[in-house]
Amino acid sequence: MADLDTTLRELAQRFEAAIAAARDEHALDEVRIRFLGRTGELTVVRRGIGALPPAERPTAGKVINVAADAMEARLAAARASLERASIDASLSDSIDVTFSGPPARRGMLHPVRAVMADVAHYFSQHGFAIVLGPEIETDANNFDALNIPPDHPAREGFDSFYLRPDLLLRTHTSPMQVRAMRASGPPIAVIVPGKAYRRDAVDARHLYQFHQVEGLMVGPGIHFGHLKGLLTGMMRELFGPAQDIRFRPSFFPFTEPSAEVDVSCPGCGGAGCRTCSGSGWIEIGGSGMVHPNVLRSVGYDPDGVTGWAFGCGLERIAMKKYDVNDIREFVENKPAFLEQLA
Ligand code: PHE
């Protein structure tokens, strides 16, 4: 028994020295194998029990078990302190825990959304309903019902994305005039904000996906003056009482007479620049008195009611409002650009 105690004491000293020398987890694994593994030092001592007189074997077994438990506990403790040390080391290397974090970013409305909301607000104050329509339209609604028959040259003007011979991505929000009038009889006053699509080459003033807001008012005695007054009011609300607006005679198959709506250019204030192609004005939409053929196509009586419609590009309005002279900025999603407008 005295022999065994000595053996274990010496073994414990070697074990302790090995633990103290172990610098990482891998070294600790090796210590474990060296002492407690299948051919480890303590395992060899345990195997020696068989050579002892039978009376001494139980006590010897217990003493060895106690030593083995103590060694396992010591290994676990050493492993834990290595882990702590490595966490501490990595923290002090790369993290200054006293450093304040980056400020949280506030969300905001996209400038096109903000203009859409302003326009919708203005018209809802004047009693207009806000309605939304599908971006995939029948060519019957997008063209035929708007007095643009299949062979009409205006179809070419709207370079369209066709999905099927009879379905396309709407080229304007005007087909909602048709849907809104079919859904309810006159009088009607609606605003339709939404996306429209055209196969336009992208440049400083064109995107192939853009936003429009359509306005439509039909009833007995509605005339061009109502349109002019409301559109002028809307632009002055958006841009201030001094905003210049120009109605320029134009042509649309679904309105007669027709007028283009221009606002003075944000890039140059009217002097002429790249944004406005030198004219000093930016066209933001079309308008006019609803063509009798359109009223007929939805079952309204053109002898009983008249109406006007307009369709404005929301990006164009946002460019004007936020002094942006390249429409592509709105879809590039650069945080610096958007935050500057927030
Ligand atoms: N839909 C026309 C366009 O996109 C604009 C418009 C709307 C013109 C309503 C007249 C009346 O160009």
- Quickly list DSSP for 168-223: EE-SSSTHHHHHHHHHSPSSEEEEEEEEEE--PPPBTTB-SEEEEEEEEEEETT--
Say what the pLDDT of residue 152 is. 87
Q: With a cut of 60, say whether residue 167 has pLDDT above it.
A: yes
How far does the centroid of ligand 1 lie from the alpha carbon of residue 175, in Å?
10
pLDDT band with cut points at 50, 70 and 90 for residue 2: low
pTM: 0.69
Q: How is residue 77 written in tokens?
A: 């403790």
User: Mind listing the pLDDT tens digit for each residue in 16-45?
Assistant: 999 999 988 899 999 999 999 999 999 999
**CA angle at residue 224 from 222 to 230, to 5 degrees?**
90
Atom of ligand 1 minimally distant from the CA of 308? 11
Q: With a cut of 60, say whether residue 188 has pLDDT above it.
A: yes
How far does the centroid of ligand 1 lie from the alpha carbon of residue 341, in Å?
28
The CA distance from 215 to 140, in Å, is 20
Say what the pLDDT of residue 267 is. 63
How far does the centroid of ligand 1 lie from the alpha carbon of residue 196, in Å?
11
Q: Is 177 in the pocket of ligand 1 (CB under 6 A)?
A: no
Structural domains in the chain, sorted by start? 2-91 (no CATH), 111-341 (3.30.930.10)
If we measure between CA atoms, which residue out of 53, 38, 58, 47 comes closest to residue 7? 47
